[in-house]
């Protein structure tokens, strides 16, 4: 089920600039209508990275679908 992205108060991408650049390069290479999972262990900042991408590049997209993968 597609949900609205979570709203996080004061989050930061300190030290994740290269990850943000790689995510952007991947999406630019595969087109804006692509599905790009962000995965990893809990607490590594996957949500902050995705929200940071939205804050930085979100204006380029007409639609963003946020899928909560923790729920079946």
Q: Which helix (H) or strand (E) holds 48?
A: helix 46-57
* pLDDT tens figures, 14-61: 778 888 888 888 888 877 667 777 888 888 888 888 888 888 888 888
| Under 8 Å between Cβ of 3 and 66 | yes
Pairing of strands 2-3, 66-67: antiparallel
* pLDDT tens figures, 48-70: 888 888 888 888 888 888 777 77
Task: Choose among 59, 72, 54, 71: nearest CA to 5.
Answer: 54
Give the tokens for residue 59: 């204006």
Within 10 A of 60 (CB to CB), how many other CB atoms are there? 10
Q: What is the pTM of this model?
A: 0.70
């Amino acid at each position: 089920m597609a949900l609205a992205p979570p709203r996080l108060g004061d989050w930061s991408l300190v030290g994740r600039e290269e990850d943000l650049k790689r995510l952007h390069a991947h999406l630019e290479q595969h087109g804006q209508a692509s599905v790009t999972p962000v995965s990893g262990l809990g607490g590594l900042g996957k949500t902050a990275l995705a929200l940071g991408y939205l804050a930085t590049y979100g204006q380029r997209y007409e639609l963003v679908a946020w899928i909560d993968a923790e729920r079946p």
